[in-house]
Chain A
């Protein structure tokens, strides 16, 4: 088909994506709760007459399909409507702002691509050595800093304190013709900071892309030929490896342009630079929907064209496509895709389902009844198969099997029992749900929703309902079996059994992660943040939402002398201990045995638990007490078994050569313990002994910054984790289905994923955030829905390679059905990759959450770092140089993201076969 055919295919795809973007745009603003007409009415600064004129102009009163047609015509002809706030035509406004944004983005992106590729190149070539570690740390650091925080940091440092550059980057009104030199000088002076921020923010993304692509290429056979030809190392890299690596890199860079747009958005807001990002920010503030509609469409179109350009570059770079005849070997089964469709049972189900959907739209109240009846019919039709399936499963629990399992496969028995409990539990949950839905007046949707929250542990169980009588008693007894705690315990049982079965592999994986320096640092950071979330109630001296706990904008109160001295002493011990340890490893003294190290760590954890227990009991916070006991338990579990062997070794003189290490280790532990005690004493003690003491000062409403910091971690972790579970589920499923079933299902699903790749995720999230009511749930759903494409793509790639393996063919030859092979062979092989990728997606989810909060779209009732920075930016903390209000939340975000990315990267290096060391 050659080059021409492939490119034609790409152009068609681009056009289709534009239409889909239009459709999404239309859905956002026309069908979501409260259509534009009501927004118009609610907007104060547009007079009544103007509103009438706009409604007619945009046909907002006409039926939906007609509105859609009018909408498309208007958009394609560039008529985006009138802005509520500026009263001018949105099209011209956007065009003007777009040019400014391009002026900002282009130089920064080009610079960051160049630097990123340079770092990635050397990091891959010197894999495992120091240069690789440095390259990785730089990439992960720049990847983890949200652009808006970096901009605030730069402004406070360079503009406010050093005064080198102007605070805001407003386009000077010197016209270019009369005085080009001054104009360019002014432009450069104003744009140096934003360019700097954008370049730094993007280096990490491109460096990682280049490193992974190059690692693939360097393991190929032709690289050995290149070396054997006598080429210098530089030529091997530049002339033989990089041209091959650039092929995948161009596509992935194009797909990641969304990151550039997101970065530009944040930079423009902070520097109040008149670009399209700022326009979006104002659009949200003023709920100016035509502007939001227009900006979304324009940004998406620009992104689509950028991707198209990258595709053309890709095909030009890769001779295998440019020259070769790329043909697809298709194997047309009888009837193929549609044959499957016409089979009687599937035909019946689709007909019934369409019926239900129609009823749902027309008469939602009867929908539940129809749904249940469809379910009943389907079960009746397939009753023999279902009965046989149940009979086979029941056979597993026959006494003969259970005794056999008890004798030699005990973990398998645990799995089977927890599976039984789980199926019962799920069965009863569905029954209760269906009954609740079927009787909307007695229970209805809210009841079901509150039921769902009990699963997340947010509210008490069982949800209260006004009804009495035998039905209610039945429901309550059913809900005992359908209790969420039972679900969680059976799931835990199953997982524990699974790990017991896989004990060897899981321990090996954990040891590998800890073997990898980045893995350890990542794991320690993440667990520190988890501890912060658990012990938050004790560590937060004030209620973070209580106003006027101190005078507003109060700087941090200095520590009393004795506490400050203690702090310095503990820090000094720590530093000396570290120096001794590094000196010992420099003189490569033999390392102390692992048991001694674990003994020290265990003792330290137990000591911290003992420290925290009294406070958590005093504060009567059940979470903290449970946390303290858990920590104590882990500490003892680590310390006790190793203590005996540690003592034996210390008494024996065998430790003579590694004495320095032992001294270093003891000093490190002692220093850390002292540090913990003093800091705990400062945090909990001072507010009571010195009223009005604020470790990190207060914000504009007098709320204690430190307490907000401590409590803020919870919402970030919850949203990050739950959103990632959604991503893992959606991305994993789509990747699995597309990879395994192939053919038309594969191309449809992949085109669907590409659309989500092309459309900038963050832009949609921001717009959706502005439309949907701000709440934790909407935030979780938005992030979950828009961050799964990368997982889907990686999982699909892996499934495609596994599918070709002989053991899949063998399972098919033996008679395994498609679903059997999917769950028994493909899923376990892909699972480690999904988990590793999920941790990386968590970093992206947390970053999105913080950015959304910063755009003021977070849940106002919840305390989070993003909202802290939003309020700080809003009340001029930057210009007022209130560093203690701006820096701590930013640094906490960066540290958390660094920890998660490092852990994710270490796991990816182990789980991802392509990256695994040969």
Chain B
């Protein structure tokens, strides 16, 4: 049981862009690709909360869907607890599905409206058929409800999703994900649709679960402030590649990659009279169909050098243990 629960080696996901009926069927014209995930390596330790942050279109959700095999890999390998899961057939892979679960962003969309709370939480048990009979299913559903803080199960068991508040729904989603006691939980923007007052409830719940059951959690979010409160390590993604990865304190308090610096400098804070030198980038994230040559960020980077547009920088380890993919940062790190 190695301490790395999940490892991804050079995973890629390219969507082919076809225009016209003929080229789809007869594959005549050379297809152009949208390179949503363009070669990413990940290592998640057991019991660690790892966050992938970035703007929309940077591929963070696609990474989660690749791990959960909701999308097929174009290239690369995925290892789960030491076993190579990327080439397994669906039936072999089904056993591993019990050990990795996912919760989604929209509390209203992620619970089916014509199923009671009990059916929703019991669904994973019934799909994998691991309970000896309905009584055991019922017990495990009730204990899962208590785990997520809905402590009077009888009141919730028979209710339908539209009778619950946003926070309660997200708790039911977490309960449904935990009923199989997974080793890895992927949370795709778990709190972004909730009111601020409810977010804390879900974040505290995730921290408690990590402490109690030693589950490793991958958080996908665009909100760096939430990432700071929750994650042990953060990886910043831009246009399908990881540009910087390290301990939360390092990334938030002293970002080295220019893109992370700009992002952190611009996030609004609920404090007044705070002097910050903001780096306001012009334009928006380019279209993933035509990714700029060399470093992907060079078209918007205020500190662009000449080699930035020729070569793509590698993700190198810095002196303080973090990894950065930016020539300028690597040079200044080597200097001091």
Stretch at the interface among A171-179, A609-617, A760-768, A808-816: A808-816
User: Given the complex of chains A and B, what is the CA–CA distance between A12 and B19 in angstroms?
Assistant: 16
Q: Which residues of A contact B273 (CB under 8 A)?
A: none
Chain B: interface residue total (CB-CB under 8 A)? 41
B134 within 8 A of A: yes
B102 nearest CB across to chain A (Å) = 5
B94 nearest CB across to chain A (Å) = 5
A690 nearest CB across to chain B (Å) = 59
Given A325, A333, A405, A825, which contacts B19 in the complex, CB threshold below 8 Å? A325
A206 nearest CB across to chain B (Å) = 31
8 Å CB contacts to B: which residues of A326-358? 326-334
Minimal Cβ-Cβ distance residue in B for A408:
B138
B222 nearest CB across to chain A (Å) = 17
User: Given the complex of chains A and B, what is the CA–CA distance between A484 and B102 in angstroms?
Assistant: 47
B132 within 8 A of A: yes
8 Å CB contacts to B: which residues of A20-63? none
B71 nearest CB across to chain A (Å) = 7
0/1 string, B89-131, CB within 8 A of A gives 1: 0000010011001111110011111100000000110011100
Q: Which residues of B contact A807 (CB under 8 A)?
A: 109-112
**Given A327-B18, A330-B24, A815–B128 Cβ distance below 8 Å?**
yes
Identify the interface centre among B34, B110, B128, B129: most chain A CB within 10 Å of its CB: B110
Minimal Cβ-Cβ distance residue in B for A743:
B24
Q: Is A398's CB under 8 angstroms from B133's CB?
A: yes
Given B19, B102, B134, which contacts A810 in the complex, CB threshold below 8 Å? B102
B322 nearest CB across to chain A (Å) = 31
User: Given the complex of chains A and B, what is the CA–CA distance between A376 and B277 in angstroms?
Assistant: 77
Minimal Cβ-Cβ distance residue in A for B13:
A331
A5 within 8 A of B: yes
Q: Which residues of A contact B123 (CB under 8 A)?
A: 811, 814, 816
Q: Is B34's CB under 8 angstroms from A806's CB?
A: no
Minimal Cβ-Cβ distance residue in B for A405:
B134
A1 within 8 A of B: yes
**Given A9-B21, A328-B19, A329-B34, A813–B101 Cβ distance below 8 Å?**
yes
8 Å CB contacts to B: which residues of A392-420? 392, 395, 398, 400-401, 404-405
0/1 string, A804-848, CB within 8 A of B gives 1: 011101111111100010000100110000000000000000000
User: Given the complex of chains A and B, what is the CA–CA distance between A505 and B138 in angstroms?
Assistant: 24
A520 nearest CB across to chain B (Å) = 26
Given B68, B128, B138, which contacts A813 in the complex, CB threshold below 8 Å? B68
0/1 string, A765-787, CB within 8 A of B gives 1: 00000000000000000000000
A662 nearest CB across to chain B (Å) = 38
B149 nearest CB across to chain A (Å) = 20
B148 nearest CB across to chain A (Å) = 16
User: Given the complex of chains A and B, what is the CA–CA distance between A825 and B34 in angstroms?
Assistant: 31
A204 nearest CB across to chain B (Å) = 34
A385 nearest CB across to chain B (Å) = 10
0/1 string, A1-14, CB within 8 A of B gives 1: 10001001100100
B135 within 8 A of A: yes
B72 within 8 A of A: yes
8 Å CB contacts to A: which residues of B47-100? 68, 70-72, 94, 97-98
User: Given the complex of chains A and B, what is the CA–CA distance between A494 and B34 in angstroms?
Assistant: 49
**Given A330-B15, A330-B24, A820-B127, A829–B97 Cβ distance below 8 Å?**
no
A336 nearest CB across to chain B (Å) = 10
User: Given the complex of chains A and B, what is the CA–CA distance between A9 and B68 in angstroms?
Assistant: 37
B268 within 8 A of A: no
Q: Is B138's CB under 8 angstroms from A328's CB?
A: no
B229 within 8 A of A: no
Q: Which residues of A contact B102 (CB under 8 A)?
A: 809-810, 813
User: Given the complex of chains A and B, what is the CA–CA distance between A328 and B109 in angstroms?
Assistant: 25
B281 within 8 A of A: no
Minimal Cβ-Cβ distance residue in B for A501:
B116
Given B20, B97, B110, which contacts A806 in the complex, CB threshold below 8 Å? B110
Minimal Cβ-Cβ distance residue in B for A333:
B72
A698 nearest CB across to chain B (Å) = 55
B16 within 8 A of A: yes
Q: Is B127's CB under 8 angstroms from A815's CB?
A: yes
User: Given the complex of chains A and B, what is the CA–CA distance between A405 and B109 in angstroms?
Assistant: 30
Identify the interface centre among B20, B25, B97, B128: most chain A CB within 10 Å of its CB: B20
User: Given the complex of chains A and B, what is the CA–CA distance between A220 and B127 in angstroms?
Assistant: 39
User: Given the complex of chains A and B, what is the CA–CA distance between A8 and B24 in angstroms?
Assistant: 15
B180 nearest CB across to chain A (Å) = 8
Q: Is B15's CB under 8 angstroms from A400's CB?
A: no
0/1 string, B141-179, CB within 8 A of A gives 1: 000000000000000000000000000000001001000
* Other A-B pairs beyond A329-B34, A810-B176, 12, CB < 8 Å: A5-B19, A331-B15, A331-B16, A392-B129, A405-B134, A505-B114, A747-B21, A806-B104, A807-B110, A812-B70, A815-B124, A815-B128
> Can you give 14 contacting A-B residue pairs, CB < 8 Å?
A5-B20, A8-B20, A328-B19, A329-B15, A329-B16, A334-B72, A392-B129, A809-B102, A810-B110, A810-B176, A814-B127, A815-B124, A816-B123, A820-B127
Residues of B within 8 A of A (CB): 15-21, 24-25, 34, 68, 70-72, 94, 97-98, 101-106, 109-114, 123-124, 127-129, 132-135, 138, 173, 176
By Cβ-Cβ distance, the 5 closest A-B pairs, closest first, are: A1-B19, A806-B110, A400-B133, A815-B97, A806-B104
